[in-house]
Structure 1
Amino acid sequence: MTSRLFAVCFAANEPLRVARFWSAILGREVVDDPQHGVMLLPRDETDFRLRFPSTSEPKVVQNRAHIELTSDSLEHQRQTVARALELGARHVDVGQLPEESHVVLGDPDGNEFCVLGPGNTFLAGCGFLGDLACDGSQAVGYFWSQALGWPLVWDQDQETAIQSPRGGPKIAWGGPPLMPNGGRDRVTFDVAPGVGDEPRAEVDRLLSLGATRVGEGHDGTVVLADPDGTEFRVLTPR
């Protein structure tokens, strides 16, 4: 048994505006998601589905996870940054140094993301959406590798990364020192039991891997937390 990563969720005050921004950046279709606002469909089986559930809570602290976009050249990086700013992004200071080659922006809802310079070997072959870079421990990287059945493609100095066996974007965790939680995470995972798997048995398996039970969502989903305390949802078939 393994869970499927159904979606990476970015809670947003203006879900449709944020979804349209990312649709224009990534070239993906926006669809209605009656239970959870709006969603971007993946372009192929290796892409993350992106979900934008609505929240009334203002964004007050830096997210503990962010998208990283790759560049083929300095001109490609410049064009991506210019396009993002045109669509409503803004420059964000998260303590980056002037000599660093990446550009840090915030989407229209303030969610941080990076436009990397060319020559990033770590994300070679991952595509334009290179990875979801997370603040997190080595233990949480191990947990998600087992939970999703995705192999570890990096495990060094307490930094970890996993990638679907089909390829595509990575999910990476930077290791210590960890940022304070700062309250409820706006970037979370929705996972679904594998085809034919019984949801309750899959929840029990995730608990045995180190998750903790938080409660139930209003739609009958099971809310768990990973070993770092970041909540995620286990979807139930409808």
Structure 2
Amino acid sequence: MPVRWYSVVIDCQDVVAQADWWSQVLGWPKAYEAEDEVVLIPPHAFTDAYRETPPQERGQGLVFVPVPEGKTVKNRLHLDLAPGPDDDQAAEVQRLLDMGATRADVGQGEDVSWVVLADPEGNEFCVLSARDI
């Protein structure tokens, strides 16, 4: 039987600030908070229907843990965020910039359909064009 992808762990220097920022970005509440770890999960994970979903079919959470060092090189793994089918990619990018994201150049070129940004601690992520799935 294959293993289940449970969460993505994000190393950071300020666990609470990073978790709060990503909570606002995604609209995900905190499921667990301690000095050395904060866990965010999708809002539907708090519903009865989610609890009845087989574990292998459940979505992943984000876990923020402290590390002493700052980020120094491009991420080897990043998150892709997608606006809904009726949402505007440029408006979402601006919302994230207004929240403290910065534009990032990871060699993507100018002819791509996504925008590369970095969170307040420099972790790159992409904002894709609007998607319905």
Calculate the TM-score normalised by the size of structure 2: 0.79
> By how many angstroms is 1:36 displaced?
4.0
Q: Percent identity?
A: 36
Extract structure 1 runs of 4+ deviating beyond 6 A. none
Greater relative CO (CA pairs within 8 A, separation 6+): 2
For structure 2, the residue ranges without an aligned partner over 5 or more in a row are 45-49, 51-57
- Matching residue of 1:203: none
Q: CA separation in 2, counterparts of 1:98 and 1:110? A: 21
Any idea what the Cα deviations from partners look like across 1:180-230, whole Å, max 9, x if unmatched? xxxxxxxxxxxxxxxxxxxxxxxxxxxxxxxxxxxxxxxxxxxxxxxxxxx
Alignment of 1:1-238 (within 5 A): 1-34=1-34, 36-44=36-44, 45=50, 46-72=58-84, 76-118=88-130, 125=133
Change (3 A) 1:14 1:35: closer
For structure 1, the residue ranges without an aligned partner over 5 or more in a row are 126-238
> By how many angstroms is 1:6 displaced?
2.7
Any idea what the Cα deviations from partners look like across 1:136-179, whole Å, max 9, x if unmatched? xxxxxxxxxxxxxxxxxxxxxxxxxxxxxxxxxxxxxxxxxxxx
**Are 1:89 and 1:108, in contact at CA under 8 Å, matched by a contact in 2?**
yes
Q: CA separation in 2, counterparts of 1:27 and 1:21? A: 10
**Are 2:87 and 2:130, in contact at CA under 8 Å, matched by a contact in 1?**
no
Q: CA separation in 2, counterparts of 1:47 and 1:86? A: 28
Q: CA separation in 2, counterparts of 1:77 and 1:87? A: 15
Q: CA separation in 2, counterparts of 1:59 and 1:78? A: 27
Q: CA separation in 1, counterparts of 2:26 and 2:95? A: 11
Calculate the TM-score normalised by the size of structure 1: 0.46
More strand by share: 1
Q: Secondary structure at the match of 1:79?
A: helix
**Are 2:6 and 2:59, in contact at CA under 8 Å, matched by a contact in 1?**
no
Q: Secondary structure at the match of 2:25?
A: helix
> Cα RMSD over matched residues?
2.2
More helix by share: 2
